[in-house]
Chain A
């Protein structure tokens, strides 16, 4: 069996569905496949997005998939000292809403379908080859192999992406650029403020951080990401320890376990080749500092969909034509990531003692009364190396 289409999207997460929707809206024939039997499940993330991000994407929040609205952030140093931020004072990254990802991902796929895309679930991409001016992808569903001949293929196949590699793009991730994450969804969680998300820094999660993201009532996502280059223990073992020692979760019970990799090394350098584009986690379109990637994946999906549809209209699927997508990503996503990478490097270089003294200096500061420059000045007082690592950025 051979199916022909303009655009084939591999993966129906937020990146793939957004790409499919926007390619279809702009007139392309689109097929989206996902290897799973249920789009969005199991979730692989902590489910936080910024309100501003959704607004920018013109996606109206729905009470079907926004499960919790947040107003603040609590950052906790290893000795328990907290720094509180709230919405009025600081823009909160990945922190405005907590989603129910299983529902959200499905709804984004439904939007793609309503725009005209065809969806195939439980369908795996096994290989890809070039044939004349097309790509032929071998797919498998329910034990049956078939091929799709597409003018453009979009790899939205997650951090484990192989589609790009088959075509010569360097998508293999180094362990130092891949957070290893584990998370429980828990009940009986007792938070100091159930309207704030919590970030725990230091040796509780070497090379990353731990989080508690409230989902309403006494329910929360409790998880962490670590770099396996920084610890001998697995993410899961670190999680068990965190849950046992944290006062908020000592009596909490898990109802779900999620694991996965989070590509935090900054956006990949090459996102396109002839007839092919990478989006979302497959392109490392994840904020390297927060590890959040839902909004950027969907933003990149808008660019990818529009560029793909324009290429189809012009009958030109060359890397040169598709590089417009890469340009838009670099301009709107990549530049900010480069700055956040430096902040991440600085954060990761701090010992528990340094984190404690920074939190101590900031925990009762009125953040709304000082600007960024003042903030950095204060930071440098307690952490002189901030000058070296961050001074040029602000």
Chain B
């Protein structure tokens, strides 16, 4: 199963949530919550991050 790694420098801007076609990302003021079970690993969220805070962890 894929595990999305949210690095410490994430700024919770929500751009990843905006492009997630499965609506799996919940952005809070100071945290991100992924619904990992439904993730199909399209990695669009990783690509759009303005600060490269997201990564895939096998």
Contact = CB atoms under 8 A, between A and B. Distances in A.
A158 interface: yes
Interface string B18-58: 11110101111100000000000000100111111000000
Given A234-B52, A259-B51, A261-B48, A124 B18 contact: no
Contact of A160 (B14, B21, B47, B51): B14
Contacts of A35: 27-29
Interface string A142-167: 00000000000000001111100110
Contacts of B16: 160
B2 interface: no
A172 B50 contact: no
Contact of B14 (A172, A181, A257, A260): A260
Given A124-B28, A259-B11, A161 B18 contact: yes
A234 B51 CA distance: 6
A326 interface: no
Contact of B47 (A37, A165, A175, A260): A175
B50 A235 contact: yes
Given A172-B18, A172-B23, A174-B19, A180 B50 contact: yes
A182 interface: yes
Contacts of B17: 160, 162
Interface centre among A44, A165, A175 (most CB of B within 10 A): A175
B13 interface: yes
Contacts of B23: 162, 165-166, 172
B14 A159 contact: yes
Nearest to B45: A175
Contact of A228 (B11, B26, B27, B47): B47
A124 B7 CA distance: 22
Chain A residues touching B, range: 20 to 34
Contacts of A259: 11, 13, 15, 50-51
A301 interface: no
Nearest to A127: B26
A234 B17 CA distance: 17
Interface residues of B, number: 23
B28 A172 contact: no
B21 A180 contact: no
Interface string A40-61: 0010100000000000000000
A13 interface: no
A174 B47 CA distance: 12
Given A35-B28, A178-B15, A172 B48 contact: no
Contacts of A234: 49-52
Given A160-B27, A259-B11, A181 B50 contact: yes
A53 to B, nearest CB: 24
A35 B28 CA distance: 7
A263 interface: yes
B26 A158 contact: no
Interface centre among A175, A260, A261 (most CB of B within 10 A): A261
Contacts of A261: 13-15, 18-19, 48, 50
A377 to B, nearest CB: 39
A278 to B, nearest CB: 13
Interface of B: 11, 13-21, 23, 25-29, 44, 47-52
Given A180-B15, A234-B52, A263-B18, 13 more contacts: A37-B29, A42-B11, A44-B13, A160-B27, A165-B23, A172-B20, A174-B19, A182-B50, A236-B50, A236-B51, A259-B13, A260-B14, A261-B14
15 contacts: A35-B28, A122-B29, A124-B26, A124-B28, A158-B18, A165-B23, A172-B18, A172-B20, A172-B23, A178-B15, A180-B15, A236-B50, A259-B51, A261-B13, A261-B14
Interface of A: 35-37, 42, 44, 122, 124, 126, 158-162, 165-166, 172-175, 178, 180-182, 228, 234-237, 257, 259-261, 263
